[in-house]
Structure formats: structure tokens, C-alpha cells
Homo-oligomer: A and B are copies of this chain.
Amino acid sequence: MKLSTKIRYGTRALVYIAAFGKNRYVSISEISEKENISLKYLENIMTLLKSSGLLRSMQGAGGGYYLAKSIDELTLADIMYSISGPIFLVRCLSEYECNREMECVLKDVWNDVNNVLDKKLRSIKLKNIVKKRKRKIKSFA
């Protein structure tokens, strides 16, 4: 149970855009440089975030990415699920073709854990993170 680099890098990229991308496009190369993430790898990640509708983009010189939704709306759940697909701790929670359901108590248990995790992830908005970030930076100044 470790978060993948895709999720960690992707989250950092989104936080970066949320913090510095007001009314402008943010390029991958800028994020790559400031956040120390491999440019080409970040490209892959941005594609995922774009194709699930969290980001939009503008091609060509001066182009880049921008948030498709408000920072008050975007949550950690959105980010994680966009990158790695929805979280189902066990297969039986996503595939409804399961022949052990009758005997199996654990399904309910895992479902319970799954829900708690999901609820927590949905409660953390990009806005909260950006705010925290500002406070932190202020406290160092």
C-alpha cells in the first residue's frame, strides 16, 4: 500500500497549477523544472489527468495546461482515480460476477474500509491544499 509516483507527481502538478496557474497556461516544462519531475514522465501523467477531465490544455508556444474545474470542486479522490482508476480494494467490489458472495463475510468488511478511504479522499479539496501551502510559505518568510 504505497502511493505510486504517478499519483504523487500528478498531485504535485495539480497543486502547482492551482497555486500558480491563475488566468494562464502552465507548461509541463515549467512544472517539471520547479517540481523536479522528469519531463517525459510527467507528460504521461498529464495526459491521464486531461483525458479524465481534470485538466484542459492549449497546444503550441505559450500553451500549457489549466484546471478544468474549480479548486473548490477538485478532490484528492478525483486526482487519484483519474490517474489509477477507481479504488476497489478487492475485485469482488467492482466485478459483480462473483460466486463466493454467499459464504463471504469479508466482502462487507473490505467494502467498509473502501468507503472510509473514499470518503476521506473526497473530503480533501485542492483548495484546502493550496491554502495550507500558502500558510506554510508565509510561516517561513
Contact = CB atoms under 8 A, between A and B. Distances in A.
Contacts of A8: 90, 106
A3 interface: yes
Interface of A: 1-3, 8, 11-12, 15, 76, 84, 87-91, 102, 105-106, 108-110, 112-113, 116-117, 120-121, 124, 129, 132-133, 136, 140
Contacts of A109: 76, 124, 129, 132
Nearest to A87: B1
A124 B102 contact: no
The SS class assigned to the A binding surface is helix
Contacts of A76: 109, 113
A26 B124 CA distance: 45
A12 B106 contact: yes
Nearest to A124: B109
Contact of A3 (B11, B110, B116, B140): B110
